[in-house]
């Protein structure tokens, strides 16, 4: 599986990792609408995975045979734990432990060097690594050694810490990564300004000038496949990653999305499918029902009475109550 990225048609489209959003349940919902070319797990902490707290984190690595190919995204502080985690990802230990799967594995390992969360940055992790290159290098090397050539290793990051800093992608491109995904904002910018696609294009140019094979994936504010295709063409990118665009259109990866014509009943049916999968997968434990509130607005939108239905759904106590409200909403016109 070493070159799972190289097998993809270009430009390829990826569903971005989103914490508490892109779990196995939502990935299956998206796959049932219009599958991307590549999925990512939510980020999972290697220091936690290599501690007694490991069982509680395994749900972040859980997947099913239909969510393929899938990249496991990791983060943390300790190179040794990156090494151990990469080794166990590559040899199938985590696929077995998290999902009971023997013959099917992740398609790669991605290191999160982009999360701007305050607590994470305070610990020197994720985007803070922009300012600690010796540690960033050790982490990448430990992950590559652990993966042992069995899985490709990639990094997802931002344009810099306080400002756009091309020495950062240049440094990363020297680390023989299979893929470098760039969210076109700095840490300081969080999500407050539009993504800078010109800077993403400049990093692709840097890659070409360095004459190396690392793929460059662009990310930030892509709301449709056409938009992504135009950006990939303009900046000659290998791939496009879409995160929040999926909240506007669950069919965002489709060549022709039917979402604008979806009826109220079709939307309710899709949410019902999501809730049932959630119930089957996470049961009464595993994940809290409130996690579903994030999704409510995707489906329960743009039909008469949507807001009232949403208000009821947001206050539901369990999956059965959600299913009941969805059914009633369907019967009420
Ligand atoms: C709710 C949420 C959770 C996120 N969790 C992660 C994560 O676990 N790992 C990661 O690399 N990025 C994470 N991100 C960042 C996205 O992957 C992506 O880089 C960002 O949203 C910009 O892309 P977009 O404009 O297409 O959404 C998250 C973003 C959101 C909105």
Domain locations in the chain? 12-248, 262-331
pTM of the model: 0.97
Does the pLDDT of residue 57 top 90, yes or no? yes
- CATH pick for 12-248 out of 3.40.50.300, 3.40.50.2300, 3.90.1640.10, 3.20.20.70: 3.20.20.70
Give me the residue label for tokens 């009971």. Answer: 100
Computed from CA positions of residues 174, 176, 182, 187, in that sequence, does the dihedral angle turn out positive or negative?
A: negative
CA distances from 158 to 28, 131, 164 (A): 28, 12, 9
156 CB less than 6 Å from ligand 1? yes
Average pLDDT in the 276-289 region? 87
Average pLDDT in the 62-77 region? 97
Active site residue 296: no
Bridge partners (DSSP) of residue 15 are 39, 242
pLDDT band at 2 (very low <50, low <70, confident <90, very high): low
* Cα diameter, the chain: 62
Average pLDDT in the 46-67 region? 97
d(CA 196, CA 169): 15
Tokens of 193: 């300004």
Bridge partners (DSSP) of residue 218 are 182, 240
Q: Are 217 and 190 in contact (CB under 8 A)?
A: no
Does the pLDDT of residue 107 top 50, yes or no? yes
Query: Ligand 1 mean position to 191 CA, how many Å?
Result: 10
pLDDT band at 186 (very low <50, low <70, confident <90, very high): very high
Rounded to 5 degrees, φ, ψ at 309 are -65, -40
Domain 262-331 fold is 1.10.1200
pLDDT band at 1 (very low <50, low <70, confident <90, very high): very low
Whose Cα sits closest to atom 23 in ligand 1? 220
pLDDT tens string 19-31: 999 999 999 999 9
Rounded to 5 degrees, φ, ψ at 113 are -120, 35
Average pLDDT in the 184-188 region? 95
177 Ramachandran zone, left/alpha/beta (phi>0; psi -120 to 50): beta
pLDDT tens string 190-208: 888 999 999 999 999 999 9
d(CA 136, CA 47): 15
Does the pLDDT of residue 287 top 90, yes or no? no
Tokens of 327: 């059914």
d(CA 329, CA 205): 52
Average pLDDT in the 224-249 region? 98
The DSSP bridge pattern shows strands 70-75 and 44-45 to be parallel
- DSSP track, 40-86: EPPPEEHHHHTSTTHHHHGGGG---TTS-SEEEEEE-S-HHHHHHHH
Q: What is the mean pLDDT of the chain?
A: 96
- Ligand 1 atom nearest 156 alpha carbon: 11
Q: Is 214 helix (H, G, I), strand (E, B) or coil?
A: coil
* 183 membership: H or E segment, kind and range: strand 179-183
pLDDT tens string 303-321: 999 999 999 999 999 999 9
Give me the residue label for tokens 């020197």. Answer: 124
Bridge partners (DSSP) of residue 75 are 45
Query: Ligand 1 mean position to 225 CA, how many Å?
Result: 18
Query: Ligand 1 mean position to 17 CA, how many Å?
Result: 6
Bridge partners (DSSP) of residue 109 are 72, 153
C-alpha angle 238-241-247 in degrees, rounded to nearest 5: 155
- Ligand 1 atom nearest 42 alpha carbon: 8
């Amino acid at each position: 599986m070493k070159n799972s990225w190289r097998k993809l048609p270009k430009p390829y489209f990826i569903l971005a990792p989103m914490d508490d959003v892109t779990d196995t349940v939502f990935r299956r919902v998206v796959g049932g609408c219009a599958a991307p070319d590549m999925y990512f797990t939510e980020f999972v902490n290697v220091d936690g995975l290599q501690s007694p707290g490991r069982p509680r984190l395994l749900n972040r690595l859980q997947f099913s045979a239909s969510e393929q190919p899938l990249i496991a995204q990791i983060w943390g502080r300790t190179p040794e734990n990156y090494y151990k985690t990469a080794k166990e990802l590559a040899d199938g230990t985590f696929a077995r432990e998290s999902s009971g799967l023997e013959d099917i594995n992740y398609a790669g390992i991605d290191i999160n060097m982009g999360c701007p969360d305050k607590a994470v940055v305070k610990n020197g992790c994720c985007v803070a690594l922009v300012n600690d290159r010796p540690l960033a290098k050790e982490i990448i090397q430990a992950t590559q050694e652990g993966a042992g050539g069995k899985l490709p290793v990639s990094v997802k990051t931002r344009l810099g810490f306080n400002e756009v800093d091309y020495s950062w992608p240049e440094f990363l491109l020297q680390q023989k990564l299979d893929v470098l995904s760039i969210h076109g904002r700095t840490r300081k910018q969080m999500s407050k300004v539009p993504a800078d696609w010109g800077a993403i294009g400049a990093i692709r140019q840097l890659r070409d000038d360095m004459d190396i094979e690392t793929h460059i994936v662009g990310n930030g504010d892509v709301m449709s496949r056409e938009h992504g295709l135009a950006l990939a063409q303009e900046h000659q990118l290998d791939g496009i990653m879409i995160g929040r665009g999926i909240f506007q259109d669950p069919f965002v990866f489709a060549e022709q999305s039917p979402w604008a014509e979806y009826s109220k009943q079709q939307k309710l049916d899709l949410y019902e499918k999501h809730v049932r999968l959630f119930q089957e997968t996470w049961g009464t434990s595993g994940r809290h029902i409130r996690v579903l509130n994030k999704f409510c607005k995707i489906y329960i939108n743009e039909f008469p009475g949507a807001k009232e239905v949403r208000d009821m759904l947001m206050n539901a106590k369990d999956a059965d109550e959600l299913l009941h409200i969805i059914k009633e909403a369907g019967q009420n016109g």
